[in-house]
Amino acid sequence: MTDSRLLRSFIPPYILNRIIAHGSEPQRNAAMQTLNHVRSLLPNPGRPSQPPARAVLPQASKPGLARRSVHDAQNKMLLPGMPVRLEGQPPSGDPAVDEAYDALGASYDFFWKVLARDSIDNQGFALIGSVHYGQGYENAFWNGAQMVFGDGDGEIFQRFTRSLDVIAHELAHGVTESEAGLIYANQSGALNESLSDVFGVLTKQYTLGHTVEQADWLIGADLLMPKIQGKGLRSMSHPGTAYDDPLLGKDPQPDHMRKFVITSEDNGGVHINSGIPNRAFYLAARAFGGFAWEKAGRVWYDTLCDDRLNQDATFDAFAKLTIDHAGQRFGAEAADAVQQAWAQVGIE
């Protein structure tokens, strides 16, 4: 899991492109730098991939105990940066460092306590995070070895460590890579993104103790600066409604297959079309009620770990497996609830 081609970033290219087209000069510069960096790390057949630098790892621990290390990139783009806080050490006083440390711990706890999974690879993989990455860097990403968080530009985006679901989202990319290796393009790529949103929002709900009804179902609700007209970057309950802002434009996510976006951008629209399976998960969770991680989350995790889930899985193939797993674990009524959830987004 150390191939730089595994980079999975949080902020979609369509948002960065919108800022480049409509932002002020500082905003455009920050967005351009971020977009160029993300593109530089994506697969290039003519360039051999380079594995990310290795971080200083905390000592191995027994299952059920996280192994965290948080590093300060010092506004450079060299990873992992200077080690600032290792597992068991007290708060550093740097909000970004301590937010990353706490959120990595909360993410580990969710996967361990709810799903009995020991970190990213289920074998105690060390959770490495780097903060203060670049200057005005408007993204967070997983690069196959660690998680990386920018500080934002302070005008559109706040620092990315503020959002627990963003950190859990990036960690979940590693889980998906370890279990299913879903190809990061087209429908399988949108499923890859959706699964990170699912486990990101479940980690937040679990940490806060929120039921399906209490939860906001927003991804990145803590990222937008107050002047931006939006609730977050994505809404799982109502895709396409997260923001509507003169600078960022309107949230383009579809909530039904009839609105599926065909595009060559963003690896075939992985961040846009993830709205469809996101809403299906929300509808299933709402049908079950209670805590979303107890039934819907369990079904989605079972599906992720199913050997029948192909790397190039379509929405339809994934949906069929979730229905099967709902029936296996919770019975025919649960299978019907999941089937109805998918039907409501046009997948039958």
Scan for tokens 């580990």, then name that residue: 108
Which of 58-72, 157-171, 265-279 is predicted least confidently? 58-72
The reply to whether 204 and 299 lie within a common domain is yes
pLDDT value for 143: 87
Return d(Cα 104, Cα 42) in angstroms, integer: 25
Segment 103-110 shows an average pLDDT of 97
170 included as an active-site residue: yes
Residue 48: pLDDT band by 50, 70, 90 thresholds? very low
Q: Over range 233-242, report the average pLDDT.
A: 98
- CATH number, domain containing residue 287: 1.10.390.10
Q: What is the pLDDT of residue 240?
A: 98
Q: How far apart are CA 109 and CA 125, in angstroms?
A: 13
Q: Of 43-52, 84-93, 257-266, where does mean pLDDT reach its minimum?
A: 43-52
User: pLDDT tier at 53 (50, 70, 90 boundaries)?
Assistant: very low
Same domain, 27 and 166: yes
10-24, 33-47, 279-293, 296-310: the lowest-pLDDT one: 33-47
pLDDT at 7: 64
Catalytic entry in 99, 138, 170, 177: 170
User: Same structural domain for residues 256 and 130?
Assistant: no
| Domain-located, residue 49 | yes
User: Is there a domain that residue 348 lies in?
Assistant: no
Residues 196 and 339 in one domain: yes
> 175 and 268, same structural domain?
no
Q: Check pLDDT > 70 for residue 4.
A: no
Give me the pLDDT at residue 51, please.
40
Same domain, 19 and 158: yes
Same domain, 204 and 334: yes
User: pLDDT tens-digit profile of 174-221?
Assistant: 999 999 999 999 999 999 999 999 999 999 999 999 999 999 999 999
* Choice between 49 and 225, residue whose per-residue pLDDT is larger: 225
Domain boundary, last residue among 139, 164, 179? 179
Is 193 inside any structural domain? yes
Last residue of one domain, picked from the residues 123, 144, 179: 179
From 37, 71, 173, 271, the catalytic residue? 271
pLDDT over 70 at 60, yes or no: no
- Tens digits of residue pLDDT in 143-164: 888 999 999 999 999 999 999 9
C-alpha dihedral, 153 to 159 to 160 to 165, nearest 10°: -130
- Catalytic site includes residue 265: no
Residue 342 in this model has a pLDDT that exceeds 80: yes
Q: Are residues 134 and 51 in the same domain?
A: yes
Query: What is the arithmetic mean of pLDDT over 38-56?
Result: 47
Which domain, by its residues, includes 165?
4-179
> Tell me: the pLDDT tens digits for 301-318?
999 999 999 999 999 999
The secondary structure of the chain, three-state, reads CCCHHHCEECCCHHHHHHHHHHCCHHHHHHHHHHHHHHHHCCCCCCCCCCCCCCCCCCCCCCCCCCCEEEEECCCCCCCCCEEEEECCCCCCCCHHHHHHHHHHHHHHHHHHHHHCCCCCCCCCCCEEEEECCCCCCCCEEECCCCEEECCCCCCCECCHHHCHHHHHHHHHHHHHHHHCCCCCCHHHHHHHHHHHHHHHHHHHHHHHCCCCCCCCCEECCCCECCCCCECCCEECCCCCCCEEECCCEECCCCCCHHHCCCCCCHHHHCCCCCHHHHHHHHHHHHHHCCCCCCCHHHHHHHHHCCCCCCCCCCHHHHHHHHHHHHHHHHCHHHHHHHHHHHHCCCCC
Q: Is residue 115 part of a domain?
A: yes
Mean pLDDT taken over the chain: 91
Look up residue 293 and give its two tokens.
């991680």
Q: Which residue has the higher pLDDT, 202 or 11?
A: 202
**Which CA distances in Å does 193 have to 19, 96, 213?**
22, 24, 23
Mean pLDDT in residue range 108-126? 96
> Which residue did the predictor score with more confidence, 52 or 186?
186
Question: Do residue 298 and residue 314 come from a single domain?
Answer: yes
Residue 13: the pLDDT is 86
Is the domain of 224 the same as that of 130? no
* Shared domain check, 171 and 262: no
Summarised one tens digit per residue, pLDDT across range 322-334 is 999 999 999 999 9
> How many domains does the chain divide into?
2
